[in-house]
């Protein structure tokens, strides 16, 4: 039996235990209130590592079975255990997270290997695992405070799909990284709040359905931007299935997205793509974080 701990850090931290690639037992969450979307933003990086270690130690203490690997998924550019950048959690930028977490866990007597992955990549791994398709290309868009692009199997690269350029309009400066014309600068929750200082994103989409012209134009732009990002990856890596999930996936109108995508992808070998919405849940990401950590043992 293989055993792993999966931890995912996005707007919150959630941790769970895996046995033979299945979640078992209770999950731990911080903060407990699921409506707190910015709870981690003000916490120093060192304290975040301590909180991760606390949750991992608590889960390990619940069983006598040795843990083969610990997988932690975080937003940003993650390479070789280092958070090279994380626009939505700026305090962890540059952190050697695998090294720091390994050190803190060792102080608690825990010596299992630690693997750090991108949070969207973890969701892609979890989707592939739940469908028994770990040998196939799986791509996922995560829609929340930021916009994530995940893929499985893992290949070396940056893969910051949320920061792909989808417009040349110099006024599009709402992305958290400061870049102009980015997908996240249109679709990200914080970016929408900056754009509509008088409305919450939920109100924008609700008013669009009621016919408000300003909101309707933006909602169409929101879908065209996502279509442009998806079309770019189809043209780069080929067709296939794309999954959409995340805290704000409820904003997505799949027929509208598909209609825009059909105007952007025209070459016949690239038309065999499909689109599927997945309800947001922590279990898929936890599973993917654990599976990624176990697979990393063989790399």
| Domain-terminating residue out of 76, 93, 118 | 118
Q: Indicate whether 16 and 104 sit together in one domain.
A: yes
For residue 145, give every residue at least 6 positions away whose Cβ sits within 8 Å of its Cβ, in sequence order, or none: 10, 11, 37, 38, 88, 188, 189, 190, 247
Q: Indicate whether 132 and 273 sit together in one domain.
A: yes
Query: Is 195 within the bounds of a domain?
Result: yes
Cβ–Cβ < 8 Å for 3, 66: yes
Q: Indicate whether 266 and 134 sit together in one domain.
A: yes
Query: Is 290 within the bounds of a domain?
Result: no
Q: Which domain holds residue 108?
A: 3-118
Q: Indicate whether 163 and 267 sit together in one domain.
A: yes
For 67, 96, 201, 255, the CA distances from 298, given in Å and listed in that order, are 16, 21, 43, 41
Q: What single DSSP character describes residue 202?
A: H
Taking only the tens of pLDDT, the chain with its 299 residues reads 899 999 999 878 999 999 998 999 999 999 877 666 667 888 999 999 999 999 999 999 999 999 999 999 999 999 999 999 998 889 999 999 999 999 999 999 999 999 999 999 999 999 999 999 898 999 999 999 899 999 999 888 888 999 999 999 999 999 989 999 999 999 999 999 999 999 999 999 999 999 999 999 999 999 999 999 999 999 999 999 999 999 899 999 999 999 999 999 999 999 999 999 999 888 999 999 999 999 998 87
Query: Is 296 within the bounds of a domain?
Result: no
pTM score of the predicted model: 0.89
Burial label for 62, CB within 10 Å (0-12, 13-18, 19+), is: exposed
Query: Is 288 within the bounds of a domain?
Result: no
């Amino acid at each position: 039996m293989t055993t792993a701990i999966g931890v995912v850090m996005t707007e919150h931290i959630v941790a769970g235990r895996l046995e033979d690639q299945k979640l078992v037992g209770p999950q731990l969450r911080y903060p407990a209130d699921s409506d707190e979307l910015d709870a981690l933003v003000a916490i120093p990086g060192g304290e975040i590592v301590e909180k991760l270690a606390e949750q991992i130690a608590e889960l390990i203490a619940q069983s006598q079975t040795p843990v083969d690997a610990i997988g932690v998924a975080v937003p940003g550019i993650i390479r070789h255990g280092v958070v090279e950048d994380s626009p939505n959690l700026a305090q962890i930028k540059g952190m050697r997270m695998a090294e720091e977490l390994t050190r803190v866990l060792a102080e608690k007597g825990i010596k299992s290997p630690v693997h750090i992955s991108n949070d969207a990549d973890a969701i892609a791994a979890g989707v592939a695992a739940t469908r028994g398709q770990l040998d196939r290309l799986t791509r996922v868009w995560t829609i929340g405070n930021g916009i994530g692009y995940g893929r499985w199997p893992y290949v070396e690269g940056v893969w910051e799909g949320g920061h792909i350029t989808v417009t040349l309009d110099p006024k599009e400066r709402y992305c958290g990284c400061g870049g102009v014309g980015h997908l996240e600068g249109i679709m990200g929750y914080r970016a929408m709040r900056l754009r509509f200082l008088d409305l919450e994103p939920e109100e924008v989409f609700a008013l669009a359905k009621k016919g408000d012209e300003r909101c309707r134009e933006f909602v169409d732009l929101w879908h065209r931007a996502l279509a442009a990002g998806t079309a770019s990856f189809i043209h780069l890596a080929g067709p296939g299935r794309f999954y959409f999930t995340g805290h704000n996936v409820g904003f997505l109108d799949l027929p509208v997205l598909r209609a825009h995508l059909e105007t952007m992808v025209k070459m016949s070998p690239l038309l065999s793509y499909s689109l599927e919405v997945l309800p947001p849940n922590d279990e898929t990401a936890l599973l993917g974080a654990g599976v990624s950590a176990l697979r990393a043992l063989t790399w």
